[in-house]
Amino acid sequence: MITSTHLYQEIHEQPDVLARLLQEDRSEAEALAREIRKRDISHVVIAARGTSDNAARYAKYLLGAHNRLPVGLATPSLFSIYEQPPLFGNALVLGVSQSGKSPDIVSVLAEARRQGALTAAITNVPTSDLAQTADYVLDLHAGEERSVAATKTYTSELAAIALFSACLAEGTGGAAAMLAELEKMPGRVRETLAIPNAIDRAAERYSFMSACVVIGRGYNYATAFELALKMKELTYTMVEPYSSADFLHGPLALVEPRFPVIVIAPTGVMLPEIKLFIGKLQERGAELLIISDDAETSACARTPFRLPSGVPEWLSPLISIIPGQLFAMHLAAARDYDVDQPRGLRKVTETR
């Protein structure tokens, strides 16, 4: 039964993991924020791979919008293979890795420390090589993740980034409000898991789907990438993520009648743009699967996945990925695949 799998259990552990992280990591996040203000850090460079790289995409939007920090993604092979590392300058260099074991990610932080840059790690293993290389460590507190496909460590990475951003906002007038909203998120995730979206029945409808695209924008650009990755890992479907803006610059030609398009559309400043985009997809006859809390937007979907209302857009990635995780799991089960051990994959991937 699917409920006995590690993946099912870990998806449903997410509220407790987030609550634990928010309680345990607050002091370390505040200490890191103080050091950033003390050094007058001017930008952030993030090293990550896979699911963690998708969390880094969220950080680009959140730290840019709420903390006015330019965020770039490192190119680890410059450090580990080409041995031609760029100069970091006055940067925070942040490594994000569930295991903290990947040599290429560790090499970025090691070089940053050699250059005298401030370093931090977000990891589920506080004794890992990555954590040992960092000045500050935000522990994901997720416990062992036994399923190969990451779920609870992804949302806890998002929460760690959100906590760090909120602590860094201290003195700007927004920190208290951000922290108050963040404290609600374990309950919001629990509420999302309880919504009767009939995802198992939806998975049966799409069990013969060979390709689709996932659309997200703004904060949920990261969600599009993470959902596409989960579907590739678990269901072996050709799934490509796009922002709605990029999709109009050519890939729109893919869409023909009944072509599946998953659209992530929570309430927020991006929703009007997403609604216009949905209209263009409807004109071309796309079959729409829509993740949203907005009733009017959901009504456009052949398959709607509802979200709870009232979640600020900057925190919506913590809940908008949940229906995606469940859909990928149920679709894999409908195809009789092992949801805990996808073919050809291991839990820890060490690259250089």
- Predicted confidence at residue 174, as pLDDT, reads 74
Low-confidence stretches of the chain (pLDDT beneath 70): 171-173, 344-352
> In the chain, where does the domain assigned CATH 3.40.50.10490 lie?
2-191, 195-334
Structure tokens at 147: 């399923």
CATH no. of 195-334: 3.40.50.10490
Q: Packing angle between helix 317-334 and helix 152-168, nearest 10 degrees?
A: 170
- pLDDT value of residue 175: 82
Sequence letter at residue 93 = V
Fold designation for 2-191? Rossmann fold (3.40.50)
State the pLDDT at residue 172. 62
Report the C-alpha gap between 51 and 33 in whole angstroms: 24
Quote the CA–CA distance of 65 and 183 in Å, as a whole number. Answer: 20
- What pLDDT, on a 0 to 100 scale, did the predictor assign at position 348? 59
pLDDT value of position 346: 61
